[in-house]
């Protein structure tokens, strides 16, 4: 893939050779939450191979599970012959998106953003083909946003936006009571301008994204239609949530990252191995490429066989993110932990001695978010060293073993070989 993200060839819409409509695929797998001008979009996707994009703000040095659904949707689109643009928000990250926030995002400096952009570009190579007639292209909105003349921008773009209408958007309404500054208020205009630039430079007709981005994405499609009198479309996707409505992907150590250095393949595997029963089918459809008939067969049983489906889900998702070798290793480690075979179990070396408390061990291994969390785990009887239950927070390693290696058990699902 080209490292200079600003020098991409213009993508010209071509006549499709197949009448298969990828929108039907996305609907069947449960991706689509909202669309605009859907009938026209459906006709366009049937007749043409189009350029589309998803934006990613580089606010961290890794993608996380929240990015996974848009990434998978992009993969389905590319498989259908359409051309993905990966928009890195090097410019918009200088402000920060207020969507789904109750406070102002931390603003990053240019060096931080450049480091994160480089990490994103490398990580994206796992998911897309960046070669061939519809190879994915990476672009960075810093290339056009950072050199804008503000007065020209207000005259050319600002005149198409109604402040009254903007204030009805969820991304702004949730912030009004606690304070929304003018810096963030500009974000919708900037994201809409991204779509306009990509439409003009690359022939991009469609923006995809999470449903929490609906207002911003719709603003871009409306801007193109009003300013250029040309077609532009928007599709948003369902968010990956638990049955209680919370975003999936939160762990004891924080977010579920796609970077193996932040979330190990074993931890990643275990997360999906333990997903709620009611979410298994949805996860299969959204997070794997298994055919729908096979998914239906795997998830039709609600008895003990559901555990086999969870194992398959964990393996398939880990394989996509980390590769077949890492998935096999994670699966073997999980089987070893269940059977008690420590030789194949996940291991971790920590800076500790025999006098280190188990509370500190839980903290050092990332199995507790705080000391109070660790004490609660111990009080609940969920922590063991080898086969010995830890009973009080004051217990130290030497209370249970004099060895430099032991097995830390947290509940029934976490089993780690610890080396001092």
- Note whether 417 and 405 are within 8 A (CB): yes
For the chain, the domain total comes to: 3
Question: Do 215 and 284 belong to one domain?
Answer: no
Torsion of CA 109, 114, 120, 121, to 10 degrees: 160
Q: Is residue 244 part of a domain?
A: no
Q: Considering 344, 364, 381, which residue would you say is the last residue of a domain?
A: 344
Q: What is the pLDDT of residue 323?
A: 92
Question: Do 56 and 117 belong to one domain?
Answer: yes
- Note whether 139 and 56 are within 8 A (CB): no
Q: Considering 196, 213, 237, which residue would you say is the last residue of a domain?
A: 237
Q: What is the pLDDT of residue 20?
A: 64
Q: What CATH code is carried by the domain that includes residue 392?
A: 3.10.290.10
Question: Do 49 and 147 belong to one domain?
Answer: yes
Residues of the chain with pLDDT under 70: 1-20, 95-108, 171, 174-175, 177, 184, 252-253, 337-346
Q: What is the pLDDT of residue 8?
A: 42
- Residue whose C-alpha is closest to residue 73's, from 211, 204, 258, 200: 211
Q: Is residue 4 part of a domain?
A: no
Q: What is the pLDDT of residue 222?
A: 95
Question: Do 130 and 184 belong to one domain?
Answer: yes
Burial of 33: CB neighbours in 10 Å, binned 0-12, 13-18, 19+: middle
Question: Do 74 and 202 belong to one domain?
Answer: yes
The CA angle 125-205-120, to the nearest 5 degrees, is 20
Q: What is the pLDDT of residue 4?
A: 38
- What's the pLDDT tens digit per position in 391-414? 999 999 999 888 888 889 888 777
Q: Is residue 267 part of a domain?
A: yes
- Note whether 243 and 276 are within 8 A (CB): yes
Question: Do 337 and 368 belong to one domain?
Answer: no
Q: Considering 322, 344, 366, which residue would you say is the last residue of a domain?
A: 344
CA distances from 372 to 228, 359, 398, 408 (A): 58, 9, 22, 18
Q: What is the pLDDT of residue 5?
A: 39
Question: Do 67 and 205 belong to one domain?
Answer: yes
d(CA 141, CA 339): 51
Q: What is the pLDDT of residue 11?
A: 45
- Residue whose C-alpha is closest to residue 309's, from 300, 318, 319, 299: 299
- What's the pLDDT tens digit per position in 171-196? 677 667 677 777 767 888 999 999 99
Q: Is residue 5 part of a domain?
A: no
Question: Do 331 and 196 belong to one domain?
Answer: no
Q: What is the pLDDT of residue 366?
A: 85
Question: Do 185 and 256 belong to one domain?
Answer: no
What domain range includes position 298?
A: 250-344
Contacts of 145 (CB under 8 A, 6+ apart): 91, 92, 94, 190, 193, 194
Question: Do 226 and 357 belong to one domain?
Answer: no
pTM over 0.75: yes
- Residue whose C-alpha is closest to residue 373's, from 264, 278, 251, 255: 251
Q: What CATH code is carried by the domain that includes residue 43?
A: 3.40.50.620
């Amino acid at each position: 893939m080209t490292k200079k993200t600003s020098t991409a060839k213009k993508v010209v819409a071509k006549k499709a050779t197949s009448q298969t409509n990828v929108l039907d695929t996305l609907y069947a797998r449960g991706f689509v939450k909202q669309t605009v001008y859907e009938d026209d979009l459906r006709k366009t996707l049937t007749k043409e191979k189009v350029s589309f994009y998803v934006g990613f703000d580089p606010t961290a040095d890794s993608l996380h599970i929240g990015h996974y659904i848009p990434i998978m949707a992009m993969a389905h689109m590319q498989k259908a012959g359409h051309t993905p643009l990966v928009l890195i928000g090097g410019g918009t990250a200088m402000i920060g998106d207020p969507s789904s926030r109750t406070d102002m995002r931390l603003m990053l400096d240019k060096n931080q953003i450049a480091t994160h952009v480089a990490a994103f570009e490398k990580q994206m190579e796992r998911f897309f083909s960046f070669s061939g007639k519809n190879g994915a292209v990476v672009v960075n909105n810093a290339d056009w946003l950072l050199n804008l003349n503000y007065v020209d921008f207000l005259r050319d773009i600002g005149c198409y936006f109604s402040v009254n209408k903007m204030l009805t958007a969820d991304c702004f309404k949730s912030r009004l009571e606690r304070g929304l500054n003018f810096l963030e208020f500009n974000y919708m205009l900037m994201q809409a301008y991204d779509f306009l630039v990509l439409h003009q430079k690359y022939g991009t007709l469609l923006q995809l994204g999470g449903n929490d981005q609906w207002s911003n994405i719709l603003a871009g499609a409306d801007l193109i239609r009003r300013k250029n009198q040309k077609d532009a479309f928007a599709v948003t996707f369902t968010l990956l949530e638990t049955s209680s409505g919370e975003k999936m992907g939160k762990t004891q150590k924080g977010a579920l990252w796609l970077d193996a250095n932040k979330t190990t393949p074993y931890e990643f595997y275990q997360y999906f191995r333990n997903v709620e029963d009611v979410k298994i089918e949805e996860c299969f459809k959204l997070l794997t490429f298994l055919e729908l008939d096979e998914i239906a067969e795997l998830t039709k049983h609600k008895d003990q066989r559901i555990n086999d489906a969870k194992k398959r889900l964990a393996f398939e998702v880990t394989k996509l993110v980390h590769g077949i070798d890492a998935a096999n290793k994670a699966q073997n480690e999980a089987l070893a932990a269940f059977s008690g075979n420590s030789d194949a179990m996940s291991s971790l070396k920590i800076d500790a001695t025999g006098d280190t408390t188990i509370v500190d061990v839980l903290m050092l291994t990332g199995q507790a978010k705080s000391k109070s969390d660790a004490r609660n785990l111990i009080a609940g009887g969920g922590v063991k060293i080898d086969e010995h239950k830890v009973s009080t927070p004051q217990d130290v390693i030497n209370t249970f073993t004099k060895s430099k290696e032991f097995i830390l058990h947290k509940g029934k699902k976490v089993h780690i070989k610890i080396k001092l």
